[in-house]
Structure 1
Amino acid sequence: MGGIGIWQLVIIAVIVVLLFGTKKLRNLGGDLGSAIKGFKSAIGEEKEQNNSVEKSSAEKNSDSLADNSSSAAEASSKATSKTKETDQA
């Protein structure tokens, strides 16, 4: 009793077509479809940008870690060479 049946939906559809006309409804459907496509592409672009930002930040972190480890290795080799020079003298 409380639900909308098939016949009520058909009557509503006929009234909407009579009020707005098929051409206007067709344009409305096309506009709605293009809006949905634009929304999906915007979301896809945002995800790609986030992924590229995450990748670039990960690359920067790995580069800085590599720089730090190479600096530490250089410092330890310098300290070792200084120790050897001191031992020889």
Structure 2
Amino acid sequence: MMAEDKRFSLAKLALEQGDRFQARDQLASLLKEDQDNVEYWLLMSTVVESNKERIYCLNKVLDIDHRNEEARLGLILFGAVDPGSVRPG
């Protein structure tokens, strides 16, 4: 688990430094090992190239945690869901 934590920290650092490609590579590697990690999917949604990919990542978050507000708001922002159709929690 320590190696995953370090790689996730490296992904966040790469993103903070503006290196979206490095962040995406780190996250893709992490997701191959743990596809049920909400934090990985949320961060991945910020580094992928297209809105279609962002929506996919956010939907994966909701598959894992259907109450995740960040994912719900992101899907509304990208027009993937009608704000009126989303009920809190």
Fold match (TM-score > 0.5): no
Smaller-chain TM-score range? under 0.3
Flag the structure with larger Rg.
1
The structure with the largest helix share of the pair is 1
Length-normalised TM-score, structure 1: 0.23
- Give the TM-score normalised by structure 2: 0.23
Bigger relative CO (Cα 8 Å, ≥ 6 apart): 2
